[in-house]
A = this chain, B = another copy of it.
Amino acid sequence: MDTRQRLLDATRELLWQRGYAATSPNAIMKAARAGQGSLYHHFAGKEDLAAEALRGSAEQLREEAAAILDGEGSPAERIERYLTRERDSLRGCRIGRMTADADVLTSDRLRQPVSETLAWLVDRLAGLIADAQAAGELRADLDPRATASCVASTVQGGYVLARAAGSTEPFDQAITGAVQLLRGAMVG
């Protein structure tokens, strides 16, 4: 793997672990086993490197989610599978995490992959919920977009509870709660 790619991979990992502000070029260089010269040869600076790394993380998140959301099964089954999919909940969401970083929110280049990815996710979930309603699986009185936002928020907020507790349990509970509520809204 070439140096440029190692720098990107290391950056993605550190952004996930520590966020943008707390990730120093120095730490990236060490993790990537690359020198200062390499970093500033391949990238204009920290923000440039982080922006490209973040685009990669966003794309990966979309691919992993799409594999479930566009996968096998009925719409309602896919929503439930999205919720219950295995997650390393103590690590949190590599994209949602960036939301706590003021520097990310004030930089268009850094913010864009974050906002676009989460908007895409809610859109896709809302479409699936509408499909489930059209298929007669889910009660028609739910607002698809509101339900989708609640589903996505449960995941994002579950990470918060888990990390606060230092335990995966609150995350699992939150998912269970969402699944139970959704099942209660199933037709039949």
Give the B-binding residues of A (Cβ under 8 A).
Answer: 17-19, 21-22, 92-93, 95-103, 105, 111, 114-115, 118-119, 122, 139, 141-143, 145-161, 163-166, 170, 173-178, 180-182, 184-185
Contact = CB atoms under 8 A, between A and B. Distances in A.
Given A21-B21, A152-B174, A153-B155, 12 more contacts: A96-B160, A96-B164, A100-B101, A111-B166, A149-B174, A149-B177, A153-B160, A153-B170, A153-B178, A155-B157, A157-B159, A160-B160
Q: Which of A101, A166, A177 has the most CB of B within 10 A?
A: A177
As for how many copies of this chain the complex holds, the number is 2
25 contacts: A22-B102, A22-B103, A92-B99, A99-B100, A100-B100, A118-B160, A122-B161, A141-B184, A142-B181, A143-B173, A143-B177, A146-B176, A146-B180, A148-B177, A149-B170, A149-B174, A150-B178, A150-B181, A151-B177, A152-B157, A153-B160, A154-B157, A156-B160, A156-B161, A157-B159
Main secondary structure of the interface of A (DSSP, over half): helix
A21 to B, nearest CB: 5
A63 to B, nearest CB: 19
A151 B145 CA distance: 17
A181 to B, nearest CB: 4
Given A21-B21, A100-B101, A102-B18, A153 B149 contact: no
A85 to B, nearest CB: 16
A174 B153 contact: yes
